[in-house]
Chains A and B, each alone.
Chain A
Amino acid sequence: MDSVTSQNNKSGTIAGIDVGGTFTDLLIFDASGRVAFAKSPTTLDNQAFGVMNALSDSGKSLHDIDVIVHGTTTTTNAVLERKLARTGMITTRGFRDIIELGRRTRPQPYGMFGEFTPVIPRSLRIEVSERLDADGNVLTPLNVDELKSAVQSLINHGCESLVIHFLHAYANPQHELQAARVAASIWPNAYITTGHSLLSEYREFERGVTASVNASVQPILDNYLEKLQKELKSSGYQRDLLVMNGNGGMVSAANVAREAAKTVMSGPASGVMAAAYTGRRAGIDKLITYDMGGTSSDVALILDSVPSVSHELDIEYAMPIHVPMVDVRTIGSGGGSIASVNDAGLLQVGPESAGAAPGPICYGKGGTRVTISDANLMLGRLNPDTLLSVDNPVSLDAVRQSVKEQIGSALNLETDTAAGAVLTIANNKMAGAVRMVSLSRGHDPRDFVLFAFGGAGPLHAVAIARELGIPRVLVPARPGITNALGCVVADLRHDFVNTVNRPLDNVDSDLISGILQRQSAQGRKLIDAEVIDIESVEYRYSADMQFIGQTHLLNVPIPSIDTTAPALQQLFEKAYLERFHVELSEIRANLVNLNTTVIGAKAPVDLGLLIDANQQKRSLDEARIQSRAVWFDGHWLDTPVYQREFIPHSATLIGPAIIEQMDTTIVIEPDCRATSDTDGNLLIEVN
């Protein structure tokens, strides 16, 4: 796609709002080609207040906004904190404990401790007589009387929503559908989730948890969106509200709760969508995204400008949400990761984290243990004048003293060297984790560009890329609001998965095209029903396959809806060889799932608008705001500090350098070369 300087956004004025753990970010692209930003503290109890504050801070009238796209962590928080709606489950006789038993695991390979709380308590899970076999044949008919009394009992227990989860419903949904009808007739309720409806895939634990999460966050999401829409309406917004899904697409607020589980992970997904969009415009189609926050970092892969999607993600221990979501992996280091010296006399960073509270020492909120952020501050990488402002009771000396006591003395190192060591170890560890994420998907990280965002990503990205042999780092114009940008650039998107699970040589080619056609038509219908204008509709097909005798799945893209079974065999063997470097053509393939993604693309957004050309200075010298001593590789170097907005777009700068902007700080390691492009991206060549 060419970069176009549009005077008008075809979609009119679009606002993207992302609610993060600390801040709510707003980004508005208006119809006349201007961009507005706002940042407001997140209001945890009711995120709507933070959203409304950000909107009012932006200075825009809500009357003038055509579309608001919203990324929310409402459902994520509800699941992680188990603040869920009271939900009941009706399930096959003999199987009510499926979501509590899991797959016989423990949280960590070593250590016999660990706890697990099921999404729905045992007392609200009721069995009824019914049974299908694996081919979907009815062995025991659904006992409607038992069903009715189960429903009544759950109503009496004060349930707000209901899950109906029967064994083998993916093979034949008849009993689940019948049960849902009966339940609805005695309990008119918008929150009835059947197991097969979200994901028609085998594996009863995963499907059951997914359905349970869905039902138990539906009322919460709906309540929240209702409150927000009311606020928006009373402030003059007349149009539909769209909500980001974890698959990187958006859906209207009116429909989103039906599949509420899909909004879990929507924040991280939107960041990756923005990265893919930014990369595509910059002509870079293979990216590893690296989003470093306060407690952890998120890593994802983008291939051919398309973020990798997985429907096998666990959002925490034994909490699988098996709906297609952008495959974002969390690695255990963030700015708040604690550095300490262990009994072996070795420095370690993490896994303990100071998180947001008490936070790093330098935040002055009571943190006493040295963190990655403290080391960055002490070594001049973060600006002490900004961080240690008047209302912050902590001094740089206090941070130094802690580094000296907690790290330097124990290792017998100078305090500066000790702080440098914290960064070395942290970068080494993060690089290793990024590498594992890439390798586990079968890719060599050196073939990618590292896309750094989030508040702290650009502080570490160049050092991490260097460690990994990644040749280039891309820092977008506004790293701190990448998730909000993801909301603005998101398309409508619907994903479908159907289990086939048969040897490929027993699969009729008509069956393949039949399923794909059905999925496509279903997606098209949903997209047509949305109020937003669409420029084009795109269909993506893929198959999940394996060799017979294996259990792990490989996702194989299918180029056309008319693909035959023999063609699929070839595609699979090729993909298998590429991924595992093992050729096994003598063994037969199994077709497990067929998948379709239907995307309704919005009009493109001109990212060039994210930078204000009027602020740019004529020369790099003028863009320099100060210089300060910064620690690189064991030495203090006098390092120029630039204001990001001032840097002329054709400029090239050579590290060491620090670039500051409102939402992040970028560290250019010595001898690395950074250039900026017309979208305001900074491309750093790693030496």
Chain B
Amino acid sequence: MSTAIADDPITLAVIQSSLQQVCDEMDLSFSRAAFSPIIAEANDRSDGIYAADNGELIAQGALGLPVFVGTMQFSTRVLIEMIASGAVAAPQPGDIYIVNDPYLGGTHLMDVRFAMPYYVDGEIFCWLSNTGHWPDIGGAVPGGFSANATAVEQEGLRIPPVKLFKRGVLDSEIYSIICSNVRVADQRIGDVKAQSAALLVGQERLDQLVERYGAAGLKAAIEELRRRASTQMRHRIEEIDDGTYSGSAIVDSDGVVDEPLTIQVNICKRQGELHIDFDGTSAPCAGPMNSVLATTQSSVYLAMRHIFPDVPINAGAFEPLHIKDPEGTFLYAKYPRPVSGCAAEVSQRIAEAVFAALVPALPHRVSAAPAGTSGNFALGGFDPERERSFVMYQLSGGGYGGNHDHDGLTNGCSTIGISKSPPVEVMEQYFPVLYREYSLREGSGGAGEYRGGFGIKYSIELRRGEATASFVMDHGRVGPQGVLGGMDGMPNTVTVWRDGEAYIPRHLSKDQGISIKAGDRVEVCTPGGGGFGNPADRPLSKIQSDLENSYYTEQQIKDSYGVDLP
């Protein structure tokens, strides 16, 4: 029976889509029931199914946040190992573990993972796990993105793998410890309920699959699908000529020491596989721009998924990707290095370095560099009129790189995210701010045969009281790289106008604790995408249209394209 299923391409295809469906339903259930907008609307969460013996990824929801591609297989593997060694209590049916420790296969502390063993006939058949980004996890600053933390303890509460649910019942003692350490704790229960309910949805749907195909049949199919995904990835990789490709990306600074950090990636293609190392990458840093290993690996996976979106996400697809542990670099941070910037910022820059390396090999599949920052601006203060404190976040997009087929998208979401930014009208309703401008950042897209998309420019004025601004952004030193002759996009800028005087953060894109008062303004310009191909090859009609729409000034067009337009 079991081998019959693995040999039957029709049943295999049906099982593949059924496993996908299970994860998609978990994602849907989590988002729909979650309390926090960051999960409910921004979809900052992911759900998946993981192998019983080693935590390898079996399937993951299609609309999970891209940065979580693959991360939960690391955390599940660590959990399985810790259970085996006795470091963590052995599971019982109905147990759900909680963990957010970045060094145990995670991202940053705000990403809280749940894992539940799935049993068939008293044996663990697989693990169901999900990650949700909690709006707060304690620590020095609300929201967790401290721009100048120097140890993980300053970033929030670190939870080792423990059973939050024991045989289906919430452990109120553990929960109360968590609640005593996070802000706005009374709303967390809505997320905890949603996160655990999503795992139960997965359990119920898996029961149906087991009933239909039998545990042995399903297991055989899963193994076969893993094998086939690796074949598929190898086929894709064969599009790349044998050889070594290198790319790099520069992180502005770690937020503490004002020096750039280099991400260097070297990709050697041979025999249908990619051997990836980060030799030449900067050492671990003092500030929160370190990345933990799981996030570093995941960032490579997500870059490959952007390049080959048709390959399904499972451990087989990752098999031909051999990533050398970047020991001694800031991409393999160990306790107690601060890591809050890894998921939102460093991960994107790793992806960017991978794109930069592979674009000459795959010019039809890879674009020039996208904006590469989540543009996190937080403003916390007290609203005297409404007599309450507030914390607002403005995340923003930037230009995408041009590609072989068309210009880059304007104001696209970060590579690692899929969430929408909030409307200005909503922000002004909730917070004592006034947007003076929210516009396309003219001239920011890098010139090229296909130019980069444009970043945005916004200017936010505080209307009442006093507040403190902080920024965790990137790409302030250099703009997103143009490729194959294309020019770079414009870099990110932050300017705080206090009493009419400009303050520019020393680290350009990272700072915190900047006091402002009513009438002061924060002005941010996000990066434009890199250009693709030689600007001289751009058709005149498109250049004309760019001028007509004031995307560029006449001078900029003259400088980049060498043409004089009236």
Contacts and interface: CB of A to CB of B under 8 A. Distances in A.
Given A94-B436, A112-B403, A584-B190, A104 B412 contact: yes
Contacts of B103: none
Interface of chain A, main secondary structure: loop
B434 A139 contact: yes
A90 to B, nearest CB: 15
A202 B430 CA distance: 13
Given A115-B406, A122-B550, A550 B37 contact: yes
Nearest to B414: A104
Q: Which of B28, B186, B435, B439 has the most CB of A within 10 A?
A: B439
Interface string B274-303: 000000000000000000000000000010
Contacts of A167: 424-425
Nearest to B409: A114
A57 to B, nearest CB: 44
A327 to B, nearest CB: 15
Interface stretch (B16-24, B259-267, B501-509): B16-24
A550 B36 CA distance: 6
Contacts of A501: 429
A431 B395 CA distance: 37
Contacts, number: 214
Interface stretch (A59-67, A302-310, A337-345, A472-480): A337-345
Interface in B375-430: 395-397, 400-401, 403, 405-407, 409-413, 415, 418, 420-426, 428-429
A587 interface: yes
Interface in B316-374: 355, 366-367, 370
Interface stretch (A95-103, A512-520, A620-628, A662-670): A95-103
A581 interface: yes
A345 B227 CA distance: 11
B14 A425 contact: yes
A586 B186 CA distance: 9
Contacts of A98: 424, 438
Contacts of A116: 409-410
Interface residues of A, number: 72
Contacts of B186: 586-587
A550 B191 CA distance: 11
Contacts of B436: 94
Interface residues on B, range: 35 or more
B306 A547 contact: no
Given A113-B403, A421-B9, A584-B35, A101 B411 contact: yes
Contacts of A121: 548-549
Interface stretch (B49-57, B90-98, B229-237, B489-497): B229-237
A550 B10 CA distance: 43
A133 B412 contact: no
Contacts of B194: 580, 582
Contacts of A343: 231-232, 235-236
A105 B417 CA distance: 9
A121 to B, nearest CB: 6
A439 B18 CA distance: 15
A203 B426 contact: yes
Nearest to B403: A113
Given A110-B309, A122-B550, A551-B41, A413 B28 contact: no
B32 interface: yes
A348 interface: yes
Nearest to A93: B437
B17 A432 contact: yes
B440 A100 contact: yes
B197 interface: yes
Given A106-B412, A342-B310, A343-B236, A112 B32 contact: no
Interface string B15-51: 0111001001100110011011100110000000000
Interface of A: 94-98, 100-106, 108-116, 121-123, 131, 133-134, 139, 167-168, 170, 202-206, 342-348, 411-413, 417, 420-421, 424-425, 428-429, 432, 435-436, 439-440, 442, 501, 547, 549-552, 579-582, 584, 586-587
6 contacts: A102-B411, A421-B13, A428-B18, A440-B32, A549-B37, A581-B33
Given A122-B551, A206-B423, A552-B32, 4 more contacts: A115-B406, A421-B10, A436-B28, A439-B28
